[in-house]
Structure 1
């Protein structure tokens, strides 16, 4: 008899959108470490293929542009093809950001962000639900934001998209729990991702030292916590605040 402990997600298949960088990459790495095979979905084919090559055979690349309606509609069958015919965990993480004054944004940028942050998430969840319902089990986690819980005046378009998607998560959760499915949102404050790429290095280091930023791996740890609760427990929404970040 082996004394080796079983990893909490051993034998399960997960898929993460926007997986080539930031929170998506950290989530995929955490899921792999917990024993899952993971389909990493990203529009950057070269980046996601290189990442999967580095992460090992349990990481499966899926290059797909979710803003392309035809490609988006193929998400589930392509996940099942890459993930050995099953999907147990879906992390809807892909998103875009617009900050600053509303009058400074053109309509095409607003349309793109709202489509990716809201419509694509809704369509992706809609498409994976029948598979999970038929199996009688599954977990859906959506990357939301602190902006979903506070009317942040410096990012009205982004905040509106996250308020919308947080409502979607909480209402859909009430529809699907009877099928044995769980659904929740993770809502972090400022996270060190590509969105901060233009910050001066000294300012970034200062903010980290002050405890006013969150690392992607810290968000991933919370996602893993949500997924590894007993099945009768649903973590419906987690808000992560940097210690020195107050609203």
Structure 2
């Protein structure tokens, strides 16, 4: 009887924004690959229910990453739960679409803080642990919007352009320590984030099959993480064939 490959056996991963969408799919793929996974999300109720469903290798960690003290506690609490960290998927994020003149300034601050500042702080905090161990993988959820000036989401697109630059520059700093840093940049994914899309844009995308499933993103993340250590997949742009910019 052929056994299912376990490429992440013996490893510990942490995924932010893990209670739903891409984060959940990523966590499930890592678990299927044999990792123990710390699922990080602010929705404690959804997180607990999900981890009960996923089994004992799934460990819930309820954190509001927009709270500075809770954000700082991410790595120490991961180490308390699992003892080490091999793979970090910085996935938590917010979406803000529409015309800039209509955007609420508090919403702009909140989105930029989570999409950019929190990602930078989380990566900064996990790096010393990985540097000390001489190995590690960091994946950041970016977006197709990081590669094209999408006119219906200037604030969101700007946050992803910033984070794509962060991934590329940080990778060049830390590869000498055996750490790989890469970004996954999907087109529109079937998650709660696209609920703010213009109604006609969302209807068109659904009608033409121009949306990606979270599981499809997770499959690409698995591909990135399972390359030989001498290869870094720095940035993957994936989009539905029918999606027309």
TM-score by length of 2: 0.95
Quote the residue 2:79 is aligned against: 80
Quote the residue 2:187 is aligned against: 189
Quote the residue 1:118 is aligned against: 116
Does 1:141 pair with 2:145? no
Say whether the 8 Å CA contact 2:96–2:196 is kept in structure 1. no
2:229 alignment partner, SS class: coil
The gaps in structure 1 that reach 5 residues or longer are none
CA distance in 2, matches of 1:150, 1:106: 23
Quote the residue 1:49 is aligned against: 48
CA distance in 2, matches of 1:204, 1:99: 12
CA distance in 1, matches of 2:5, 2:84: 20
The gaps in structure 2 that reach 5 residues or longer are none
The Cα offsets for residues 89-121 of structure 1, whole Å up to 9 and x where unpaired, read as 000000000000001112111000000000000
Q: CA RMSD in A?
A: 2.0
Quote the residue 2:11 is aligned against: 12
CA distance in 2, matches of 1:214, 1:194: 13
Q: How far off its partner does 1:149 sit?
A: 0.2
Does 1:155 pair with 2:153? yes
Q: How far off its partner does 1:211 sit?
A: 2.6
- Equivalenced residue count is 244
Quote the residue 2:87 is aligned against: 89
Q: 2:176 aligns with which of 175, 178, 191?
A: 178
